[in-house]
Structure 1
Amino acid sequence: MVGVLDNNSNINNTKLTVNDGPLNTENASFLRPSDPSLPLEELRNRYNEDGYLFLKGVLPRDDVIAARRKYFEYLAPTDVLEPGTSPVEGIFNRSKSIDEYPGIGAGHVGGNGRPGGDNAAQFVDRAIEAHYKDWYTQDLVNHPDLYAFIAKFTGWGQDALTFKRTLLRNNIPGSKPIGVHYDQIFLRYGEPTAVTAWVPMGDIKLNGGGLIYLENGDDVGLKIEREFTEKAKKAGLTDEEAHSAFNSNMMATGLLSEFPAEFAREQGRRWLISAYEAGDVVLHKPHLIHASTINNDPDNVIRLATDLRFCDSSKPYDQRWMNHYRFGDGV
């Protein structure tokens, strides 16, 4: 695996960018890491205070790397990988255009539509099919260590439910990053109990396209959600229309903004960043605002990560998330 930049690296000396410019010491700082062996009460306090919990090494590194290897072996026939390299490295084929290898998930117009054209078809097909493979669904999504931690941390116990719908995302160097959003936008058919577990599937350098979180962004997300609710009422939207992440109050992609630097500046907040290692997991609240940086990995490593979600099944939850990911599912 390619090494991870130390989090103490000078932000200003790292090519760290979002869609609308650089992140530097004026508009970015670092996430607070947490050891999963800390007392449960301390971990809960951190989660409630920060809106996230950045857990170091909560999953066995070897298990995460095994899933990463399987993923890139499965996508290798699309020529996405640099010839002569090992699939587990995930190094992008420098002779190819990034347009042939689009990412999937939030950020595509039309309620989660299919990205790319005919020249991307094979890659996109395999990227979606990977969501259904046992080495992903059984070995990673339902990893017993993560489920046990979530059940204990939340206090849900046996009521902890793992959603089937996940977002297994690749991010080619130089391609479009994930825009500004919070997850409850896409989970409005249930109560906001969901916990997202963002799982980097491999090491991600500080400038390798990892997730970034708005400082104290949970309060901002809650405020925006209240405003959306009021706008929906004034606009006369039905409950069904208002529940949609793609309603007339929203961007067509369900996102809040494509411009993270501007968004943070308007809110008077910074973006919190980090390098990540295989085995790390970030838990975050349903209204915590987040995005990702552009993948500027100097070694051309494809950023691979997945969004897993858990809820309290004793309360109403968004049943749409109990179906596997598919294009055009409106979620």
Structure 2
Amino acid sequence: MPHAQSPEPPKVPTLNGCHLHVNDGLLRPDQVSWLKHSTLDLPLSELQRRYHEDGYVLIKHLLPRADVLKAREEYFQMLAPCGVLKPDTAPIDGIFDPANDPLDFPGIGAGMEGGNGKPGGETGEKFVDIALAAHYAEWYKETFCKHPVLKDMVAKLSGWGENTLGVKRSLIRNNTPGNKAIGVHYDQIFLRHGEPTSMTAWVPIGDISLAGGGLIYLENGHTLGREVEADFTRKAKESGLSDEDAKNAFNQNMLSTGLLAEGPKQYADTFGKRWLVTEYEAGDVVFHNPFAIHASTINHDQNNVIRVGTDLRFVDSSRPWDTRWDHDYRFNDGV
């Protein structure tokens, strides 16, 4: 069958001349491969197969590009008064003013001590406060997060149908050039009070170049994530911990941020796996399962484009799910 054949390599730039930086250094060429691209002309059964076998499926051009760029424009119109954007540039372009210190514009959720505390100090307070306020804006909360195309695709991929529920709590991550990237993790770590059946839709809000700080996925990381989880559960039960105590103990024995590791480079070497990378276009969506191990690169976009993306979670409402997520994003909410 044509749809079962190996797909052609994605038409993205080669790594020659493109350096991929992560929190603990520069990824070597042998640590990197390509993220598989999928398109809407593939049968649903093939998209489902890829999701289950790979732990993710990247669907190109799923959302209307205009809808995504409209959200990007709304976001940066909110942030513009902070002085984060280069003068005389359009908000929709999201060009960082190189005269600024990136540390004055910290990204939400990139791995703060204590989990999801408020990042930055006094200099970044206005920027962070407005970035948080964007989560409650109608253009984001009611229009973008509830885009019918997203929910429809999740319902089909998962087979949940009418039981498909978009979780309220979501996270818009901005990443100004040179700032800290997202560390190594899988989502079940943070959704531990529900069944491990959730689905995440990671949606880039705008184009992201190969060096622009996009999400990277560990090759076959979803199987490693399940092994990590199973190994801890076994040790917890052997030590006599209750199920509730085990949930809490798991995160206490990781980094204070709840991450598996801060550095993707060393993590790849530890397990002998490669990171899968690509560039993203507005309209692309990656769906991944709760054990898919992922991180991001540091944003070194050559044009100083600010990377923006959002994590939207979906669950089967007929099954137990982590209801701690049944509220809009806020700092220090214990999740």
Residue in structure 2 matched with residue 305 of structure 1 by the alignment = 309
Residue in structure 2 matched with residue 109 of structure 1 by the alignment = 113
- Deviating runs (4+, > 4 A) in structure 1? 234-238
User: How far apart, in 2, do the equivalents of 1:214 and 1:70 lie?
Assistant: 32
Contiguous gaps of at least 5 residues in structure 2? 1-9
Gap change, CA 1:46 and 1:328, over 3 Å in 2 = same
Residue in structure 2 matched with residue 211 of structure 1 by the alignment = 215
User: How far apart, in 2, do the equivalents of 1:241 and 1:77 lie?
Assistant: 45
User: How far apart, in 2, do the equivalents of 1:206 and 1:284 lie?
Assistant: 20
Q: Is the 8 A contact 1:111 1:246 kept in 2?
A: no
Residue in structure 1 matched with residue 72 of structure 2 by the alignment = 68
CA displacement 1:152-200 (0-9 Å, x = unmatched): 2211111000000001000000000000000000001000110000000
User: How far apart, in 2, do the equivalents of 1:111 and 1:18 lie?
Assistant: 20
User: How far apart, in 2, do the equivalents of 1:20 and 1:247 lie?
Assistant: 22
Residue in structure 2 matched with residue 317 of structure 1 by the alignment = 321
SS of match in other structure, 1:212? strand
1:158-237 matches, within 5 Å, as 158-233=162-237, 237=241
Q: Higher mean Cα deviation, 59-68 or 221-230? A: 221-230
SS of match in other structure, 1:13? coil
Residue in structure 1 matched with residue 297 of structure 2 by the alignment = 293
Q: Is the 8 A contact 2:12 2:279 kept in 1?
A: no
User: How far apart, in 1, do the equivalents of 2:226 and 2:305 lie?
Assistant: 35
State the shift of 1:330 in Å. Answer: 0.8
Q: Is the 8 A contact 2:173 2:308 kept in 1?
A: yes
User: How far apart, in 1, do the equivalents of 2:13 and 2:122 lie?
Assistant: 41
Q: Higher mean Cα deviation, 124-133 or 228-237? A: 228-237
Residue in structure 2 matched with residue 3 of structure 1 by the alignment = none
CA displacement 1:276-322 (0-9 Å, x = unmatched): 00000000010010000010000001000000010111110000111
Q: Higher mean Cα deviation, 19-28 or 256-265? A: 19-28
User: How far apart, in 2, do the equivalents of 1:45 and 1:252 lie?
Assistant: 35
Match status 1:93 vs 2:97: yes
Q: Higher mean Cα deviation, 230-239 or 36-45? A: 230-239
User: How far apart, in 2, do the equivalents of 1:260 and 1:131 lie?
Assistant: 28
Residue in structure 1 matched with residue 246 of structure 2 by the alignment = 242
Match status 1:266 vs 2:270: yes
Amino acid in structure 1 at the alignment position of 2:312: L
Q: Is the 8 A contact 2:232 2:250 kept in 1?
A: no
Gap change, CA 1:154 and 1:118, over 3 Å in 2 = same
Q: Is the 8 A contact 1:160 1:312 kept in 2?
A: yes
Residue in structure 2 matched with residue 142 of structure 1 by the alignment = 146
User: How far apart, in 1, do the equivalents of 2:234 and 2:252 lie?
Assistant: 13
CA displacement 1:4-61 (0-9 Å, x = unmatched): xx84422132021112222243110101100123111111111111110000011000
Q: Is the 8 A contact 1:65 1:88 kept in 2?
A: yes
Q: Is the 8 A contact 1:11 1:24 kept in 2?
A: no
State the shift of 1:97 in Å. Answer: 0.9
Q: Percent of pairs identical after alignment?
A: 56
Q: Report the TM-score when normalising by structure 2.
A: 0.94
SS of match in other structure, 1:309? strand
SS of match in other structure, 2:150? helix
User: How far apart, in 2, do the equivalents of 1:75 and 1:192 lie?
Assistant: 35
Amino acid in structure 2 at the alignment position of 1:269: K
User: How far apart, in 2, do the equivalents of 1:326 and 1:194 lie?
Assistant: 21
User: How far apart, in 1, do the equivalents of 2:53 and 2:43 lie?
Assistant: 16
Residue in structure 1 matched with residue 4 of structure 2 by the alignment = none
Residue in structure 2 matched with residue 257 of structure 1 by the alignment = 261
Amino acid in structure 2 at the alignment position of 1:45: R
State the shift of 1:229 in Å. Answer: 1.9
State the shift of 1:244 in Å. Answer: 3.7
Q: Aligned-pair RMSD on alpha carbons?
A: 1.5
User: How far apart, in 2, do the equivalents of 1:206 and 1:279 lie?
Assistant: 16
SS of match in other structure, 2:276? strand
Amino acid in structure 2 at the alignment position of 1:103: G
User: How far apart, in 2, do the equivalents of 1:106 and 1:229 lie?
Assistant: 27
Alignment: residue pair count: 326
Amino acid in structure 2 at the alignment position of 1:89: D
Q: Report the TM-score when normalising by structure 1.
A: 0.95
User: How far apart, in 1, do the equivalents of 2:247 and 2:120 lie?
Assistant: 28
Gap change, CA 1:234 and 1:252, over 3 Å in 2 = farther
State the shift of 1:236 in Å. Answer: 5.4
CA displacement 1:197-243 (0-9 Å, x = unmatched): 00000000000000000001111000111122234345555533432
Q: Higher mean Cα deviation, 114-123 or 223-232? A: 223-232
Amino acid in structure 2 at the alignment position of 1:204: I
